[in-house]
């Protein structure tokens, strides 16, 4: 595992919230907390989605990206997940980190200030050069798409 420095800027409504950080020594992700106003609750109805602020902006170094991913406990226990998982944060984005949560659970889900709602992974990016070609190399699979490899082991 290699270290990379990500600068974090606390926004005014992030005052008092923890800076994104992993919760264990070998955790891949840094937890993101909800910057819902103190004393308020953001409720996501079953089947609905919400854009949840975190109160922080970050500067990801060139050659890296941020990936916003669900927290497994929220998904398993409440059916709440990140809608566009993983959400991508480009290295040149400097706005507030926000998380698109969707509630697939059977009832409403309440979010309060400081609740850990997602995790942020910082990952290297490979810059691809896309070149137009008249033909593509053949493979055993070819152009067979969705479900073509079956489900049996």
Asked whether residue 136 is domain-assigned, the answer is no
Q: Give how far Cα 62 sits from Cα of 65, 91, 127, 134, Å.
A: 8, 6, 11, 33
In angstroms and rounded to an integer, the radius of gyration of the C-alpha atoms of the chain is 19
pTM of the model: 0.89
pLDDT digits (tens, 9 = 90+) for 59-76: 999 999 999 999 999 999
Asked whether residue 146 is domain-assigned, the answer is no
Asked whether residue 85 is domain-assigned, the answer is yes
Asked whether residue 142 is domain-assigned, the answer is no
Q: Does residue 152 register a pLDDT over 70?
A: yes
Domain count of the chain? 1
Asked whether residue 88 is domain-assigned, the answer is yes
CATH of the domain at 55: 2.70.40.10
pLDDT digits (tens, 9 = 90+) for 81-106: 999 999 999 999 999 999 999 999 99
The range of the structural domain enclosing residue 45 comes to 7-124
């Amino acid at each position: 595992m290699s270290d990379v420095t990500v600068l974090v800027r606390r926004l005014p409504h992030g005052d008092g919230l923890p800076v994104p950080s992993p919760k264990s020594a070998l955790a891949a992700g840094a937890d993101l907390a909800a910057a819902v106003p103190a004393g308020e609750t953001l409720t996501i109805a079953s089947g609905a989605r919400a854009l949840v602020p975190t109160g922080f902006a970050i500067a990801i170094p060139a050659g890296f990206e941020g990936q916003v991913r669900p927290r497994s406990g929220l998904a398993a226990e409440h059916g709440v997940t990140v809608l566009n998982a993983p959400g991508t944060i480009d290295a040149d984005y400097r706005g507030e980190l926000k998380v698109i949560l969707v509630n697939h659970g059977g009832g409403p889900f309440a979010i309060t200030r400081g609740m850990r709602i997602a995790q942020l992974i910082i990952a290297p990016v490979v810059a691809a050069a896309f070149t137009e070609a008249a033909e593509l190399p053949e493979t055993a699979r070819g152009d067979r798409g969705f479900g073509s490899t079956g489900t049996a082991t």
